[in-house]
């Protein structure tokens, strides 16, 4: 995926959502495209089809609930649910796109049946393959004719993206043809590592704005904040970074806002992005490697929280390696300065989480085996922190 691709509005965010790893080894966060008729939502999605990546389109309004929940059948005195035929289109490849077109024309009974398909990825008692992505499309509420509003539980299971084509893009397409979308892969291991850092930034924002954890569905016509959609945001932002999108690049402004607003609503999204852009933190690896020096007394409370939470994954990964002691030395020096600065309460949660991971006995043993003052300094710092009266919760960890 190229950040400079000339695609319809919403397409870049869609392609990111399609490749984002989620829980249980599933790929793709469900997407709902909102756009007026005739702007190419369906043709773009169907253009992503490949021999090994099928796209199955279902018009929601012409199906009944059993097409998504399975038809109950009595067999040997027990009721089982027959799997709809459309599920078979993914049986050979194990991946592809289930495209639910005209979703806003689906009656409430069909919407209820779709809840399980969209989020649990189950059709009756049959699991969709982990590589099957779910995309839906709908016309904006002001253009609906004879449709139904989507229920808040169903809306909360999608990232909502506005889809549109401006005049310049359409004119270029007339002259040179439409540019096809390109689905890339995101390395799941790299995503898992970076996700921890992104979650730390999101957590720091929510520590400052805890009321933003939830939003009223009635105040947001599309996506709205909930713990589920905050998880979506963290995973999507992680994929965007791995695919080359820079939060501080003005050319990517629309993409980041599309991703965040599609999950949380525009108001919270703007506040989140503004907060993330103002964080003054170098890459965690550069801090631990000694490539940059950092004065933690110059950081605000949110930045300090993000710093330690971002360093923790690197220290955990260093257990059993030669990097454990030097990384831990840098970490503990920063922690000591934080304690001296009177802000030990901010470092408490990251330090407890790190200690409970098994890092503590490993670094303590490495420090005792080390020659010179470095090992004794680390030992002294550990004893200082965990003897602190405010950190008595660590007693169980140390026992």
Q: What are the pLDDT digits (tens) for 201-235? A: 998 899 889 999 999 999 988 999 999 999 999 99
**Cβ neighbours for 308, distance < 8 A, ≥ 6 positions apart:** 331, 334, 335, 338, 346, 347, 350, 351
Residue closest to 29 by CA, chosen among 111, 135, 108, 173 = 135
pLDDT range class, residue 394, cuts 50, 70, 90 = very low
d(CA 11, CA 173): 15
CB atoms within 10 A of CB 352: 14
For residue 133, how far is the Cα from the chain centroid?
Answer: 15
- Tokens coding 379: 């030992």
Tens digit of each residue's pLDDT (9 = 90 or more) over 160-210: 999 999 888 888 888 887 888 889 899 999 999 899 889 989 988 998 899
Three-class SS state of 252: helix
Whether the per-residue pLDDT at 399 is higher than 50: the answer is no
- Is 265:155 a contact under the CB 8 Å cutoff? no
H helices of 209-323, where? 227-242, 253-264, 266-277, 284-288, 301-318
Q: Report pLDDT digits (tens) over 5-57.
A: 588 999 999 999 999 999 778 999 999 999 998 888 999 999 999 999 999 99
Domain limits, the chain: 1-185, 186-279, 284-398
Closest to 314 (Cα-Cα) out of 324, 305, 304, 306: 324
pLDDT in tens, 82-131: 788 888 889 889 999 999 998 888 888 888 888 888 888 988 778 899 99
Q: Which long-range contacts (CB under 8 A, 24 or more apart) does 170-176 make?
A: 172/6
Torsion sign, CA atoms 252, 19, 90, 34: negative
pLDDT-above-90 percentage for the chain = 46
Percent of the chain with pLDDT over 70: 93
> What CATH topology corresponds to 1-185?
Rossmann fold (3.40.50)
Computed over every residue of the chain, the mean pLDDT equals 87
State residue 113's pLDDT score: 85
pLDDT tens-digit series, residues 269-299: 999 999 999 988 888 889 999 999 899 999 9
Rounded Cα–Cα distance for residues 139 and 124 (Å): 28
Identify the helix (H) or strand (E) that includes residue 66.
helix 66-69
Report strand pairing: 55-59 vs 31-34. unpaired
4 pLDDT band (50/70/90 cuts)?
Answer: very low
| CB distance 53 to 259 below 8 Å | no
CA atoms within 13 A on the CB side of 32: 24
CB distance 97 to 133 below 8 Å: yes
Query: Residue 96: which H helix or E strand, with range?
Result: strand 95-101
239, 133 Cβ separation under 8 angstroms: no
Sheet arrangement for strand 31-34 = 55-59, 95-101, 131-138, 31-34, 159-162
CA distance 312 to 355: 10
- Supply the pTM of this predicted model: 0.84
Task: Kindly state the DSSP code that residue 164 receives in the 8-state scheme.
Answer: B
Tokens 């080359």 identify what position? 244
Per-residue confidence band for 388, with pLDDT thresholds at 50, 70 and 90? low
Residue 359 has pLDDT above 80, yes or no: yes
């Amino acid at each position: 995926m190229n950040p400079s691709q000339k695609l319809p509005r919403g397409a870049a965010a869609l392609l990111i959502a399609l490749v984002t790893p989620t829980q249980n080894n599933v790929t793709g966060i469900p997407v709902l495209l909102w756009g007026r008729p005739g702007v190419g939502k369906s043709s773009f999605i169907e253009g992503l089809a490949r021999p090994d990546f099928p796209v199955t389109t279902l018009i929601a309004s012409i199906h009944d609930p059993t097409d998504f929940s399975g038809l109950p059948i009595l067999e040997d005195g027990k009721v089982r649910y027959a799997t709809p035929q459309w599920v078979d289109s993914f049986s050979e490849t194990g991946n592809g796109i289930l495209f639910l077109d005209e979703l806003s024309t689906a009656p409430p009974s069909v919407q209820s049946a779709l809840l399980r398909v969209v989020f649990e990825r189950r059709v009756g008692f049959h699991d969709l393959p982990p590589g099957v992505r779910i995309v839906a499309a709908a016309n904006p509420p002001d253009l609906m004719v004879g449709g139904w509003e989507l229920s808040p539980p169903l809306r909360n299971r999608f990232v909502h993206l506005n889809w549109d084509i401006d005049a310049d893009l359409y004119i270029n397409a007339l002259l040179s043809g439409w540019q096809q979308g390109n689905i890339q892969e995101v390395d799941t291991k790299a995503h898992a590592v970076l996700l921890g850092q992104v979650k730390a930034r999101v957590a720091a924002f929510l520590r400052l704005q805890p009321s933003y954890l939830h939003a009223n569905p009635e105040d947001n016509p599309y996506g709205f904040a909930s713990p589920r959609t905050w998880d979506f945001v963290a995973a999507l932002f992680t994929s965007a970074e791995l695919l080359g999108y820079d939060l501080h690049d003005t050319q990517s402004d629309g993409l980041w806002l599309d991703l965040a607003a599609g999950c949380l609503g525009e108001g919270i999204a703007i506040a989140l992005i503004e907060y993330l852009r103002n964080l003054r933190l170098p890459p965690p690896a550069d801090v631990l490697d000694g490539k940059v020096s950092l004065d933690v007394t110059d950081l605000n409370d949110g930045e300090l929280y993000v710093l330690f939470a971002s360093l923790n994954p690197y220290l955990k990964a260093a257990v059993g390696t030669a990097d454990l002691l030097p990384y831990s030395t840098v970490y503990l020096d920063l922690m000591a300065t934080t304690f001296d600065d009177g802000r030990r309460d901010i470092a408490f949660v990251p330090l407890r989480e790190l200690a409970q991971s098994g890092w503590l006995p490993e670094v303590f043993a490495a420090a005792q085996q080390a020659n010179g003052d470095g090992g004794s300094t680390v030992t002294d710092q550990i004893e200082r922190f965990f003897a602190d009266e405010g950190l008595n919760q660590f007693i169980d960890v140390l026992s």
